[in-house]
Each structure stands twice: as C-alpha cells, then as structure tokens.
Structure 1
Amino acid sequence: MLKHVYRLMIELTNGKWTSVILRRFVRSRISRFVVPSFARIYNLNQIEMEKALHEYPTLHDLFIRTLKKEVRKVDTSANTVVSPVDAVIEAVGSINQTSEMVVKGKTYSIQEMLGSQESANKYLHGTYMILYLSPSHYHRIHSPVEGTIVKQWTLGSKSYPVNKMGLKYGVRTLAKNYRLITEVDTAYGHMAIVKVGAMFVNSIERTHTGSQLEKGGEMAYFSFGSTVVLLFEKGIFQLDSSIHTPKDIRIGEKIGVLLQGNGRA
C-alpha cells in the first residue's frame, strides 16, 4: 500500500509546473528569509563556506555555494579515482551482460540510463557506483579523473526523488530522471559520469568548458540534492578496500584506482 501511495505522490509533484514554482521561489529575494532556518535544520558546515550565511541573497545561492579552497584535498596520485561530490556512497556493484545493475533491490538498465545499447555496450561487466547528495551537501560536481570528454548529452524530463525512499519505491528513477551524461576517455579506458536530477530539479548547470578534465576540477552543479552514477569499463576500476556502503565521502577522497585494462598502457 505504501508503495502505491508514494508513487502517486511523486507522480503528482515532479511535473513541469511544480518544478517551475519551486525554482522561482528559491531564486527569489523572499527565499532569503528561510536561509538561516535551512542552514540550521540541515546542519550546514558554515566554517567551510566561502561566504558568511548572511551574504547569500537567495536559497538557491546557498544551495550552489562554493567552499574555501583549502577545505577539500584531492588525491593527486596518477591512477586514483576520487569522489566527484560530497555524498553518501549508496551502492557499488557489477553491471551484468544484459547491461543491468541492481540497486536497493531494484534492477536498472544501463541502456535506458545512457539512451542506447551502443553507449551501454562498453560498460558490460564493468562497475557502477551510486553517490547520493542530500540537501545538506555541497552541490558542486568535480571530475573524479583526468581525461578527455568524448561525448556529453542529456536525457529525461521527470524529477523523481533519488533518496532511499525514491530508489526503493520510485519507477526506474536513475534511468528516467533528467540527467546529464559525460563520457570520459582516460589513459586506462572509458568511464561515464551520470549526473541525475532529483525531485523538483530539472536543472544541472555545466561550469566546465573545453574537452580536457583535470582531476578535482569543477564540472557542474545541482540545485537541491541529487545523485551521481559512475560507470567504468570492464577491468579498469578497482574499488578501494576502505569503501563500504553506505559511506560518507568528500570530494577528492580516493574511491579506487584505475587499472591497465582494455589493452591500454
């Protein structure tokens, strides 16, 4: 019963007009009055912020805040993969031969997530990682690797919740939500960085220009909370032994290493 009620609720509240209304509010000057309570309720770490709380003119400006440069250290070892976001690692696993992954007991199609079988084929038998951002997290997305962007595209229009309830009761949220997909060619093989919009959020803003990515460099930002899915080709990624799920992680922290797979040197 709860499953059907939850699905009905999110079907009625993730459409175009509800998103527009909320987006207008969080970008309005009126929203500045809820900035202090938002910071208190979500226990934001104000010491890390580049600005003081009273300097954010809207709630949206607080959501997309930047941090002091020294508060995030990026692992600079040549073959490491670092977290692209401050988040909770919710799931890590293998992509099977039918391009599917199982997250929170639900099966997701990589083909549907990426939009074509051709895009999905290179990730068969590879690894996926799901990183969830709550409203309390820093919302900017940084590159987990050094490499070259070979393709970037958007898919989807809905914005179902991507928190634990959304993953459990939603309808293929990771494959249906609005998403911005960046495919990266590294010295070790290909990976995809799938930025998935959350409830009310059909906006993922790119801040990076050009085709070259620097590990730890900023790529884009979300409004509200959301999810990032990392996909790795078969044989090129080894998870760090310290990673378990769920696990809190910060930008720049090591999540694994790239291996010499697919004939790469």
Structure 2
Amino acid sequence: MTVKSLISAITQQEDLNFLLTNRIPRAAVTRFMGWFSKIENPLVRDLSIGLWRLFSDLDLSEAKKTHFKSLHDCFTRELKPGLRPYDPDPNIVASPSDAIIGAFGTIREGELFQIKGAPYSLADLLGDPALVEAHRNGRFVTLRLTSSMYHRFHAPHDCHIDEVRLIHGDTWNVNPIALKRVERLFCKNERAVIRTHLKSGDALTLVPVAAILVASIRLHFLDLVLNGRTRGPLNYPCDVDVKKGDELGWFEHGSTIIVLAPAHFEFCDNVTEWGRIRAGEPLLRIS
C-alpha cells in the first residue's frame, strides 16, 4: 500500500476524519492557514504543494502558469484560456464553478436540506425575509469544491448583482461526513449571500459558504476580500451587470456554493447527486 492510499484509507474513517478536521480550534487554524499560504518562500511553497499532492488528487496540468509564488498563488490559480467554455444557450444557467454536486431539489415552504434527512431553513441561511420569499418554493443545488479543484467561480448567467451580504460564522468542514453530523451546518458557517436577478426579473442567488482552512472569499466586483476579520458594514449594495462566465471571485481553499433559483427552472439531465460538474456546464434550464 502506498503512502497516499494509506492516508486516504485513514481519512475515510468517519470518526477520525471528523476529529481531525473539526475537533480542533477551527478559527485559529483557518487564520493561520490564511497567513501561511501567502508566504513567498520557495522551500515553504514546494513543501506545501508537495504535501497537498500527497493528500489529494491535485492536478496542475490545466493551470495557466507552471510556477507559483506561494501556496495561495497555487490555490487561486487561473486556468489556460478556453478550458471552461460557458454554455451559450440563453435558457441555460451554468455551473458557477467546478464542483461535486451535493443535495439538490425543490425548496418546500422555505426548507431545504444539506443531505437527505438533514433539513435547514432559508431564513437561517439568508437572513433576509424578502429573499426568503423570492425562493420559498424554488430550486436549490449544493456545489462542493474540494481542496484540489479550481477555486474560482463565475457568473452562471447574464445577470445584475444587487447586493452582497456577509454573514459571520464558524468554519466547520463541509465534507459529507460533517454534513451528516452537524445540524444546519451551512447556516452556522461564514458565508456571503450574493443577490442577483436576470433580465426577466427572476431572482438567482449564490451563497458561497466558507469552511475550515478557507481564509477568505474574494469578490472582484466589490474589490473586497471577505472573511472573519471583516469589520464595518456587512451589507454591500451593488449595481453591477455581469455576463455569463465572467469571473466573480475565488475561495482560498475548497468550500461550497449554494445556488438558489425560481421554481420554473428545471435541473439539467447531467445534474446527479455526487456527480462532478465543471464551471460552464449546464446546471438549470429556464422553462
């Protein structure tokens, strides 16, 4: 058995995985990771990326550049041009990111679920009664970005960004093991609520959820980095038009994006639980 397969076998043990990734000082470890990942030292960079490869399926063959200044530079890497074309069909809402598809389905009177049998409410997730009403019986899909994935996310459709709300919270791991054990996990973690609407007036909301080791969420259209140390106003009114595929920002590690859409949007055939999807591929169809 190789070292990598041994590590994989150990981390697949649910009790041990949960202990190692959650029963630690999550906020402190996350702050440390934010600092450590930006160290521009060749030895630190090479050792960090080497360990990352050992613990994951990291593949840098799609990266735009082959030399990185730091671990952070590698985390937030761009891809070679043309690798994530966005579906041009105006009736398609595309995936904003590379991801593993988690729970998805119909929101029932403001209730959705993080995994089967583990419900949570839109009110707790969004903290905005008007937005809750807009999505009360709509659609939702959970997109989980693993640590080795491309970490940038993009506009899923031509839309107008109305507001971003930062909601401070914890940094629980967002892997399936934690989702089974921590009730209402997405409502407890640090997150940004990006409220947008399409030209039709339909509400389309993205909720990037931070997790342990995710030091921040970068939003280009606000020129802001949002994290647990963000102070001052937590609501950011916006007046920004974006085109499908425009880069909105990045995570500094793997995490989750919850997409909320109207009831008359239908899931595309390629959307299956635990299936993989790439940025730009069909996610929802406007019917």
Q: What TM-score, normalized to structure 1?
A: 0.88
* Larger mean Cα displacement after TM superposition, 111-120 or 58-67: 111-120
Partner of 1:229: 258
The answer (yes or no) to whether the contact 1:157–1:202 under 8 Å persists in 2 is no
Partner of 2:231: none
Matched, 1:238 2:238: no
Q: Give the alignment partner of residue 121 of structure 2, picking from 93, 100, 109.
A: 109
**Equivalent pairs: percent with the same residue?**
27
* Larger mean Cα displacement after TM superposition, 215-224 or 29-38: 29-38
Partner of 2:211: 198
**Cα distance in 1 for residues equivalent to 2:207 and 2:176:** 18
Q: Give the alignment partner of residue 242 of structure 2, picking from 213, 224, 231.
A: 213
Cα deviation for residue 135 of structure 1 reads 0.5
Cα deviation for residue 139 of structure 1 reads 0.3
The answer (yes or no) to whether the contact 2:31–2:215 under 8 Å persists in 1 is no
Cα deviation for residue 164 of structure 1 reads 0.6
Cα deviation for residue 36 of structure 1 reads 3.2
Partner of 1:45: 59
**Superposed CA offset, 1:61-80 (max 9, x none):** 11100001121111011121
Q: Secondary structure at the match of 2:221?
A: coil
Cα deviation for residue 184 of structure 1 reads 0.9
Cα deviation for residue 111 of structure 1 reads 0.6
Q: How does 1:87-236 map to 2 (within 5 A)?
A: 87-97=99-109, 99-104=110-115, 105-188=117-200, 189-209=202-222, 211-235=240-264
Extract unaligned runs of 5+ from structure 2. 1-13, 223-238
The answer (yes or no) to whether the contact 2:172–2:211 under 8 Å persists in 1 is yes
The answer (yes or no) to whether the contact 2:140–2:261 under 8 Å persists in 1 is yes
Partner of 2:47: 33
Cα deviation for residue 12 of structure 1 reads 3.6
The letter for the 2-side match of 1:24 is W
Distance of aligned partners of 1:218 and 1:9 in 2 relative to their CA distance in 1, 3 Å threshold: closer
The answer (yes or no) to whether the contact 1:7–1:170 under 8 Å persists in 2 is no
The root-mean-square deviation of aligned C-alpha atoms, in Å, is 2.1
Cα deviation for residue 163 of structure 1 reads 0.9
**Superposed CA offset, 1:222-256 (max 9, x none):** 01110000001232x11112321111000100112
Matched, 1:64 2:76: yes
Q: What TM-score, normalized to structure 2?
A: 0.82
Distance of aligned partners of 1:108 and 1:63 in 2 relative to their CA distance in 1, 3 Å threshold: same
Distance of aligned partners of 1:45 and 1:201 in 2 relative to their CA distance in 1, 3 Å threshold: closer
The answer (yes or no) to whether the contact 2:21–2:173 under 8 Å persists in 1 is no
**Cα distance in 2 for residues equivalent to 1:72 and 1:85:** 9
Distance of aligned partners of 1:171 and 1:67 in 2 relative to their CA distance in 1, 3 Å threshold: same
The letter for the 1-side match of 2:274 is P
The number of aligned residues is 253
**Cα distance in 2 for residues equivalent to 1:103 and 1:34:** 31
Extract unaligned runs of 5+ from structure 1. 260-265
The answer (yes or no) to whether the contact 1:63–1:139 under 8 Å persists in 2 is yes
